[in-house]
Amino acid sequence: MKSENIVIIGGVAAGTKAAAKAKRENPDLKIVVLTKDRHVSYAGCGLPYYVGDVIKEEKELLVRRPKDFLIDYDIEVLTEMEALKIIPEEKKVVVKSLSTGDIQDFEYDKLVLAAGASPFIPPAAGKELGNILTMRTVTEATAIKNLINERDIKEAVVVGGGLIGLEVAENLSLKGISTTVVELAPHILPPYDADVAFYVQKYLGEKGIKILTGTSVKAFTDDGQGNVGAVITDAGTLEADLVVLAVGVRPNVDLAVECGVVLGATGAIAVNERMETSIKDIYAAGDCAENINLISGRPVWYPMGSTANKTGRVAAINFAGKTHKDTMEGVLGTSILKLFELNVGKTGFSERDASALGYDVETVLVPAQDRAHYYPGSHMIVTKLIVDRKSHLVLGGQIYGEGVVDKPVDILVTAITFGATVEQLAKLDLAYAPPFSMALSSTIVAAHVMNNKLQGRFSGVSPLALKEKMEAGAVLVDVRTKNEFFVRSIPGSVNIPLRHMVERAGELDRSREIILNCKLGLRAYMASLKLKGLGFEKVSILEGGMTAYPFETE
């Protein structure tokens, strides 16, 4: 039986995963991987840390070299090769060597499009100036690193406040470079909710990174030597020796469109659950391919390294020619990042997105320790839990703090994937010992708080709504001790400690809404029970307390 020819366009995560898995599934396959880059398999998510010298050497980012694939897998990898055209009716790909200019055809029985995505370049005048760089490949990251090491870079501007932009900003700051992040959206981390993003924004400001949100870049100016000297924004001019463009990426779909492959609603390549495109024997995987959201069942596009690896594997199992098949059911858009000592993670719908899709959304903001409070190294984390008020299904979560965040995020991923309600989430038999968790983990605590809210045991006010509430006449009462209140408090609040609440309740106007605040929320909840017992009806709790409050205090 003639061995099949498999051509894979693109490397890095999806392409190389597809190639290696297919060879394990069917060793008789003849596989060739074509990539425009000098490198075929590297840790793209590690690039910011390479720039910041957390990862010292370029070679540490390189997972496999072309000769490794040839020796270990009998897979031919051709670098600096650009696919110019796909001719489906002839089952061939026209390819140009970027080093020699030679053109040649590659015939295929099965073709995999793993072309990835490319950085979006904002249409600002002067974008072609020197020292304006993107960071999508090892080559680009090395160029930034060399620039920092060889020149006196003092001022950097990062355009884009998403995951990569903020990781780059952190690492530039760690190199002693004064760094400003410019973000067009109303807040950094656009996929996250504003209350979480504002907390992160405040934290980064305290670390010395300047954040400009709701700000667009108009132009880049020349320093007189052909390099960038300043960034002109609608909020003013920023001096810059270095600009990193991290505005986002766009799926590489030109080849697919030209050969007739159908795109999906997101603009990425439409695929079925087996990663098959609209044209027989052509598959797509990784950042150029569309995904399905596990909750809504709607098309989405999440260009993540983890997703790229999964889709490459699924595609390989299906095109490798054996009887075993696999499917990609969907994704949740899970993400996580580290910024200095702060960890931030998300999965599922944000409150904003769930509301836009018509869900009857309820949220809570709950601080708790990541492990037993008495165990060395414990830290506070805040969980924002998002559920559907009618079905009680868990829809999403966002977690941040200096403690362990990935574990509770992954718990929520699992719960959402299997359709858990918040009641089921609260009953999970999670691992407990003081070095690892509280007796009731932060996730279970958040689930209990959500259940209390759904049952009407308390009314919550988000930090974002507090100012408007106070302007409308609500009174913010801080129930912490006098000493705690003196050290740090929210402007406009009054202090009535919990232990004095009953005797001083007469100081409160029953006709106005009373919003209770403490460090975490528990004392505020206890105070609400006392006031309700005294006949107060308009009583609410500031969710997350002082721990999650994302604005200035006094």
Q: Three-state secondary structure along 376-422?
A: CCCCEEEEEEEEECCCCEEEEEEEEECCCCHHHHHHHHHHHHCCCEH
Q: Angle at which helices 14-25 and 66-73 pack, to 10 degrees? A: 10
Strand-pairing partners, residue 541, are 460, 516
Distance CA 168, CA 174 (A): 10
For residue 272 the two structure tokens come to: 């079925």
Q: What is the DSSP letter of 443?
A: H
Longest Cα–Cα distance in the chain: 91
> Helix, strand, or coil here: 524?
helix
| 288 is a catalytic site residue | no
Torsion from C-alpha of 197, 202, 208, 211, nearest 10 degrees? 50
Strand-pairing partners, residue 489, are none
DSSP secondary structure letters along 122-162: ---BTTTSBTEEE-SSHHHHHHHHHHHHHS---EEEEE--S
Pairing of the two strands 494-495 and 242-245: unpaired
Residues of the chain by 3-state class (helix, strand, coil), percent to 5: 30, 30, 40
Q: What is the DSSP letter of 261?
A: P
Torsion from C-alpha of 156, 157, 158, 161, nearest 10 degrees? 130
From 81, 78, 82, select the one nearest 66 (Cα to Cα): 78
> Helix, strand, or coil here: 46?
helix
Instruction: Report residue 231: phi and psi, to 5°.
Output: -115, 120
Please answer whether residues 290 and 269 qualify as being in contact, where contact means their C-beta atoms are separated by less than 8 angstroms.
Answer: yes
Strand-pairing partners, residue 103, are 96
Please answer whether residues 256 and 269 qualify as being in contact, where contact means their C-beta atoms are separated by less than 8 angstroms.
Answer: yes
If phi > 0 it is left, if psi is from -120 to 50 it is alpha, else beta; for residue 465 that is alpha
Please answer whether residues 514 and 488 qualify as being in contact, where contact means their C-beta atoms are separated by less than 8 angstroms.
Answer: no
From 475, 495, 477, 470, select the one nearest 485 (Cα to Cα): 495
Distance CA 371, CA 94 (A): 57
How open is the CA angle 404-141-65, to the nearest 5 degrees? 90
Sheet of 394-401: strand order equals 335-339, 342-348, 394-401, 380-388, 361-369
Hey, which residues are catalytic here? Answer: 45
